[in-house]
Structure 1
Amino acid sequence: MARKLLILLFLLSFRQGFANSILVPMDDTQSNHLKAYGIAYNTLQQNTELDWLLNYRGGSFLFDYSPSLEKECLVRGVSFEVLSTANVQAILREISDPDINMEVVRLYKAAKIAVYSPIKISLSNFEDTDAVLLVLKYAEIPFEVIYDEEIIRGDLAKYDWLHLHHEDFTGQYGRNIRRMSALDMKAQEDIAKRLKYSKVSALKLDVAKMIKLFCMGGGYLFAMCSGAETLDIALSAEETDIVSSRFDGDDIDPGAQSKLDFNKTLAFENFSLYFNDGEGYGSMSFSDINVWSGRFDDESSSYFDLFDFSAKWDVIPAMLGQNHEHLIREFMGQTSAFNKKTVKSNVLVMGEGKESHRYIYGELGLGQWVFYGGHDPEGRRGFHRTPTDLNLFPHSPGYRLILNNVLFPSARKKKRKT
């Protein structure tokens, strides 16, 4: 009996001596890329730091070993490797080679996440296909849903990270009353009345300005689809009326186009607005910022390129572009992609197609923002209003870009100033 106990103690001590780290690889050996981000976020939530190994096996994560972490990986179906100190040192030596495009980035603290969505006020299924909501739930990353009232009363200061998706900050109900449910429209009108605004467009302008201030104060803004386009349109049109009478009861300013102020926008300039029915994608486009979905002849064979940045010198875009693939399948949205001619020269392009930019980055004051064109990275033409089952796409490179953005603020050690 004593001999068996000694053997058991020896095996346990050997295991503890060997198991100093856990590597979660993010290359093609990973069984679930998306849930791996949830493992990283969960670790940060427990006030435990970890390392993001940029460009090492697809952007792998390196953790201090713990039995609970090993168990969590098993429960979530995430591939991992237990490493000795010698293994880790060999990896770090490889990464530190100045001739190799890799880098180690320490992640410190989980960002507090807010998603701006009308599901806060309406049960309409028009918004239940928000790709960020879907992937946060799938990866088991906690978030809070907020909407106009929370933003107007200043609640954005509680958060580090804000997402905008299929939104319309111009107050035109997505430029398609037929597809916007009566319940959604009434809910927005009720908020405007409750907050003493004369019309929804006036409310949305103030919301857009508060979002801009959030970013300037050090917040991280991640916008997709029409949320990215209409935020800048609303900001540029602060001094004019661009909303048709069919949406707000009064006429468009005849000189609206010439009164747009592109100095107030984050990403876009010199764009032309669409005022009339029949312009753009099924009368639903807001401006020529959008390279609409009709330009993608065959989504299944059309791709955009992720640019390759120096992990040692261009750490920010390198982090945001971590992936096991560098060709991402094109996908549609009300705003599918960004017209290259309308993107400001100081904006960093991280991914582009033949005729458009798809994935762009910028800085504003103390904060940063990323705009990602399209609605659902795994959506298909004609089916992008049906919720995607991410159990079918655990390796989605398009969804990985979203989750890169979720972890990005964790690399900032200092607290955000507001």
Structure 2
Amino acid sequence: MKQHLSFLLVLLAVLSQATPNWASSILIPMDDQQSNHLKAYGIAYKILKDDMEVDWLLNYRGGSFMVKQTQAAETECRVRGVSFEVISDAKAASIKQQLADPDLNMNVVTLQKAAKIIVYSPIKVSPAEFENTDAVLLVLTYAEIPYEVIYDEEVLKGDLPKYDWLHLHHEDFTGQYGRNIHRQSLADIKVQEDIARKYGYSKVSQMKLAVAKGIKEFCAGGGYLFAMCSAAETLDIALAAEGVDIVSSAYDGDGVDPDAQEKLDFTKTLAFGNFTLEADNGYRGFSTFSDINSAGARGYDQPSGFFELFNFSAKWDVIPSMLTQNHENIIKEFFGQTTAFRKGAVKPSSLVMGEGKTSDRYIYGEVGRGQWTFYGGHDPEGTRGGGFRNPTDLKLHPHSAGYRLILNNVLFPSARKKKRKT
């Protein structure tokens, strides 16, 4: 009996040496079989943070991830409630061979290093209660992806090159404090005025222009910029209006340049051109910034339709393919101070990745050595109540296709860079 047992142990040892990798990969599906799409991105980021690579399987089961099998990775998936499959080396090789087929619109992109993430937000310096509905802050926290918060002072000090990925949300870079009812509190405004004085600017609008230029320089130097809602619109307005007073006396004590519209320089912007500034309706009165915003004076309307993601070549247009990975290509519309982008205002150099019936919702571009993505609207699952926006509980939306687009951008800088062909 002992000899028989010894023989079995030796046989098992030999077999384990002969086939050491029979189950050496973990597949994290991102189709309808995934129990938590949003937290799956957090698993991918955690693995990158642990100095391991992640294969992003473009257009395979909703843009699945494949990683080396480890007990730690399995445990993370179980703890976070993320679906996974342990597969053999042969199965992993078969999947990659399938994705390499030139007749299939699929590809493998290897993610190599976790990006160092920062979020530009007034919560760094003031209460800014409105920021508790910032979709990126919400989803980074829910997906358990670490980030740091910065604001104007860090940009002015030149700290941006320390990071890889920068997010801008519901911000006003024109120095008009959001031009929306209760958008910013008096405390928020005072903090910006104090920062402007500290750095020698006589107006907040001048300080915000310097910040906008710093953000553009960060992107041109090789950084990744992701902006949503009014930040996308007002960043370009500020850049186009350099040296031109577009801020009324209600905000800074002197009037608007009467020739401001004619003096705008669209060559300085990232995404938009051929836009017209909107007149101001008074301090703390509702007003849009320009006709870049396709929603115009409707402002925070309730969602009423859908927008569609474009289908790119995963082998030739790798970047937009990464940024549009999803288990759904029809996305529920959502609104914000800047809801979507008027088609006539989007520069031809900007790549449209998602559009509604009358507007562009999701666009991408390159400047210098860096890339940017602008996403219209405020919160992909946002609702309103009592006249104000309510914070979204992402536990109720673990499969949000709208939020997946945000997280695609978070992983994007971890990929080997491949320029698009079209």
1:176 to partner: Cα distance: 2.7
Q: Bigger shift: 269-278 or 253-262?
A: 269-278
1:125 to partner: Cα distance: 0.9
Alignment partner of 2:156 out of 147, 152, 158? 152
Q: Does 1:376 align with 2:379?
A: yes
Aligned to 2:196: 192
**Structure 2 CA distance, aligned partners of 1:125 and 1:296?**
18
Q: Does 1:283 align with 2:295?
A: no
Aligned to 1:51: 55
Change (3 A) 1:84 1:126: same
Aligned to 1:411: 415
**Structure 2 CA distance, aligned partners of 1:402 and 1:9?**
50
Judge conservation of contact 2:280–2:287 (CA < 8 Å) in 1.
Answer: no
**Structure 2 CA distance, aligned partners of 1:326 and 1:54?**
14
**Structure 2 CA distance, aligned partners of 1:164 and 1:257?**
25
| Aligned pairs for 1:222-371 within 5 A | 222-277=226-281, 283-292=286-295, 294=298, 299=303, 302-371=305-374
1:126 to partner: Cα distance: 1.2
Give CA-to-partner distance per residue, 1:18-60, whole Å, 9 cap, x none.
2110000000000000000000011111111110000000000
Judge conservation of contact 1:332–1:381 (CA < 8 Å) in 2.
Answer: no
1:413 to partner: Cα distance: 6.5
Alignment partner of 2:170 out of 166, 171, 174? 166
Structure 2 letter corresponding to 1:165:
H
Structure 2 letter corresponding to 1:327:
I
Alignment partner of 1:140 out of 136, 139, 144? 144
Give CA-to-partner distance per residue, 1:366-386, whole Å, 9 cap, x none.
000000000000012557621
What TM-score, normalized by structure 1, do the two folds share? 0.94
Q: Which runs of 5+ in 1 are unaligned?
A: none
Structure 1 letter corresponding to 2:23:
A
| Aligned pairs for 1:34-183 within 5 A | 34-176=38-180, 178-183=182-187
Instruction: Give the secondary-structure state (helix, strand or coil) at the position aligned to 1:184.
Output: helix
Aligned to 1:392: 396
Judge conservation of contact 1:108–1:413 (CA < 8 Å) in 2.
Answer: no
1:412 to partner: Cα distance: 3.1
Judge conservation of contact 2:314–2:321 (CA < 8 Å) in 1.
Answer: yes
Judge conservation of contact 1:232–1:265 (CA < 8 Å) in 2.
Answer: yes
Judge conservation of contact 2:170–2:229 (CA < 8 Å) in 1.
Answer: yes
1:16 to partner: Cα distance: 5.5
Indicate the percent of aligned positions where both proteins have the same amino acid: 68
Instruction: Give the secondary-structure state (helix, strand or coil) at the position aligned to 2:62.
Output: coil
Give CA-to-partner distance per residue, 1:158-185, whole Å, 9 cap, x none.
0010000000000000013644211111
Structure 2 letter corresponding to 1:318:
S
Change (3 A) 1:207 1:4: farther
Give CA-to-partner distance per residue, 1:226-279, whole Å, 9 cap, x none.
00000000000002100011011111001100000000000000100012318x
1:288 to partner: Cα distance: 0.2
Judge conservation of contact 2:115–2:164 (CA < 8 Å) in 1.
Answer: yes
Judge conservation of contact 2:59–2:105 (CA < 8 Å) in 1.
Answer: yes
Judge conservation of contact 1:375–1:384 (CA < 8 Å) in 2.
Answer: no
Alignment RMSD: 2.4
Alignment: residue pair count: 412
Judge conservation of contact 1:296–1:302 (CA < 8 Å) in 2.
Answer: no
Give CA-to-partner distance per residue, 1:89-137, whole Å, 9 cap, x none.
2211211111111000011101111100000001231111110000000
Give CA-to-partner distance per residue, 1:320-362, whole Å, 9 cap, x none.
0000000000001000000001000111000000010000000
Change (3 A) 1:235 1:295: closer
Give CA-to-partner distance per residue, 1:43-92, whole Å, 9 cap, x none.
11111111000000000001011111011100110000000011112211
Judge conservation of contact 1:54–1:104 (CA < 8 Å) in 2.
Answer: yes
1:9 to partner: Cα distance: 9.3
Q: Bigger shift: 375-384 or 306-315?
A: 375-384
What TM-score, normalized by structure 2, do the two folds share? 0.93
Change (3 A) 1:68 1:272: same
